[in-house]
Amino acid sequence: MTTQASYGQDFAGYPSPSDPYTSQPLLPRPQYPTAPPWAQPPTAPPSEFDLEAPHLRHGQALVRYPEELELATRPRPPAAWPVAVWTLLFGVFGAIPARRRAATARRIRAGVAPYWIVFGVSLVLGALVTVGVGQALILPGYLELREGAVLKQLQENIVTDGELQKAAKLTATEAKCQALDERGDDGLRGYSCVLTLASGKDKVLRVTADSNGDWTVMKRR
């Protein structure tokens, strides 16, 4: 039994054979599939030279990491450190550069939260620094000025309020006082006063006075 071959391939360059009875050219025998219809067609084995290419969008540069190229072309957002400097120096007015820089960052689609975070943190730190400096420098100076005014008022009261005449039967023309201790929680402070009496003699008197200069003779212990 002979097998009918494809004449188009075996007799290339020669006239196709024909049927001797009908003088018509013989057609190649049709090829029928031998696999069932539900079978998957065989896949070609992968070549060792095939490399898995990354997914690229249409019109994008042929690079492996296109995100880096996109970020490289985007303008940089403004720095946040000037907001901290402005806030530490001028307090709440640091919101002005924070708002401007946040608006610039929003236009280039960058985050705006860092500028307001820096503003809030700097505002709190500035307040703490102000309170610390106030307690270390301003408060002692204020207390010293206040105590000086209390001392002056005390010396004037000893001479003019008449309490000295009632307490010690003395009359003073001048009083010079000096604090003996710090002012207590009750608001009182001890003083040692040198009195110049009307007779010209000096006398030392210890008194206790409040922050208004009102005084009483210190009790002996």
pLDDT at residue 7 is higher than 70: no
> What pLDDT score was predicted for residue 218?
82
| Token representation of residue 61 | 């540069």
pLDDT value at residue 59 = 53
pLDDT band with cut points at 50, 70 and 90 for residue 143: confident
Q: What is the pLDDT of residue 22?
A: 65
Contact between 66 and 56 (Cβ < 8 Å): yes
pLDDT at 107 over 70: yes
Neighbours of 209 (CB within 10 A): 26
Please report the pLDDT score of residue 9 as a whole number. Answer: 47
Residue from 24, 23, 29 nearest 10 by CA:
29
Q: Which of 18-27, 30-39, 55-64 has the highest mean pLDDT?
A: 30-39
What are φ and ψ of residue 153, in 5° steps? Answer: -65, -35
Position 48 confidence tier, pLDDT thresholds 50, 70, 90: low
Is the pLDDT confidence value at 98 over 50? Answer: yes
What share of the chain in percent tops pLDDT 70? 71
Residue 41 has pLDDT above 60, yes or no: yes
Question: How many residues appear in the chain?
Answer: 221
Highest average pLDDT, of 3-7, 55-59, 75-79, 83-87, comes from: 83-87
pLDDT at 138: 86
Which region holds residue 218: left if phi is over 0, alpha if psi is between -120 and 50, else beta? beta
Instruction: Reply yes or no on whether the pLDDT at 8 is more than 50.
Output: no
Mean predicted confidence (pLDDT) in 116-131:
95
More confident residue, 59 or 41: 41
pLDDT of residue 161: 87
d(CA 188, CA 218): 11
